[in-house]
A and B are shown apart, each in its own frame.
Chain A
Amino acid sequence: MDIDTTQLWVVIVLLGLGSFGLRFVFLGLIGDRPMPPWVLRHLRYTAVAVLPALVAPMVVWPAATGGALDAPRMIAALVTLGVGYFTKNVLMAIGLGAGSLYLFLYLL
């Protein structure tokens, strides 16, 4: 599996430029120009739409179990969600979520 050095650096540089472009496109080009209300209304839900979509497959089909549904991981995800929702405390949610993961990995 010899990777060609030229191809490697072409990929690194172009992927870097492309990723920067995606990150800069709105922040850089729109800047402080006002956006229409309907756009802002959608943008308010970016975080609660992108991040759960990113995480859901990792919870239901964990890579570590070869994609099989895993009770300790599912319980840990629900504990984290519940603690975070009711306490609004991110650190406590991480702590109790990780604690429940190790507890149930040990018990089950």
Chain B
Amino acid sequence: MRSDTPRSAYWRGVRDGAPFLLVVTPFAMLFGVVATEAGLNVVEAMGFSIVVIAGAAQFAALQLLVDNAPTVVVLASSLAINLRMAMYSASLTPHIGAAPLWQRILAAYFMVDQTYACSIATYETHPDWTIPQKIAYFFGTVTPICPMWYAMTLVGALIGSAMPAGLALDFAVPITFIALIAPMLRTAAHKVAALVSVALALVLAGLPYNLGLMLAALGGMMSGAQVELWMERRGTWT
């Protein structure tokens, strides 16, 4: 039996979430800057980051608003980008679905790429954790990431000047996610799922409304599940 308490799981979440400040800080500042340049005031920029709390979808919505797209198009495109959140929601359900409703409501609000990715990676390596431990860990990852999203949007909106380009911060997103995924590629099924999803994502990158991502994700999940089934039948699944 592990000695992890909800308190230690929480602090572990804080530590695991902290490296993502590398991504969230510049991304949120950039949103504040871009929003200001598009003519939004500070309250409007903050409204976006607090109400929507989803980086890529916020950028897309803002760009479409600047292009004078109809409201329906703005909403449909931005929600399509956030469709992956429904997959995250399904994926977290076996782990924290039994938590009290108010905790699930809060967890849903704070579900972003980084908090999801940290949590699912840790849940998989701690199948013995109780629900309070898993919930505490989730909110541990939220603690450094989400308040910083608000704070840095505010800073970006207030300074309103461009970020230095020489830092190559564009690549903070790929590096942090690859670093998190790589240790999860434990079985052949996980490796096949990731390979298929990468191949499909590249082939289908030209599709509109982020459809390429959704199809690639579904293809990857189906491949992983299929490999697991094959290995189970051949008795090589551990």
Q: Could you list 15 examples of A-B contacts with CB < 8 Å?
A: A3-B65, A11-B74, A24-B108, A26-B86, A27-B96, A31-B98, A43-B91, A46-B88, A50-B220, A51-B113, A51-B180, A52-B220, A77-B178, A85-B183, A90-B183
Whether A64 and B171, one on each chain, are in contact in the complex, defined by CB atoms closer than 8 angstroms, is yes
Please determine whether A50 and B84 come into contact, CB atoms closer than 8 angstroms: yes
Q: In the complex the two chains form, is B93's CB within 8 Å of A1's CB?
A: no
**In the complex, A65 Cα to B131 Cα: how many Å?**
44
Chain A residues positioned under 8 Å from B84 (CB to CB): 50, 54
List B residues at the A interface (Cβ < 8 Å).
16, 19, 22, 38-40, 44, 47-48, 51-54, 57, 61, 65-66, 68, 71, 74-75, 78-79, 82-94, 96-98, 101, 104-105, 107-109, 111, 113, 116-117, 120-121, 165, 168, 170-185, 189-190, 193-194, 196-198, 200-202, 205, 212-213, 216-225, 228-229
Give bound CA distance, A30 to B217, whole Å. Answer: 21
In the complex where A84-B182, A85-B185 touch, is A44 in contact with B89 (Cβ < 8 A)?
no
Q: Are A11 and B65 in contact (CB under 8 A)?
A: yes
B86 (CB) vs chain A CBs: closest residue: A22
List A residues 36-59 near B (Cβ within 8 Å): 38-59
Q: Which of B71, B94, B176 contacts A11 (CB 8 A)?
A: B71
The reply to whether B79 and A85 form a contact with Cβ atoms under 8 Å apart is no
Contact A12 B52 (CB under 8 A): yes
Q: Chain A interface residue count: which class? A: 35 or more
Q: How far is the CA of A81 from the CA of B47 in the complex (A)?
A: 36
With A8-B65, A41-B228, A44-B228 already in contact, the answer to whether A23 and B98 are too (CB < 8 A) is no
Closest-CB distance, A92 to chain B (whole angstroms): 8
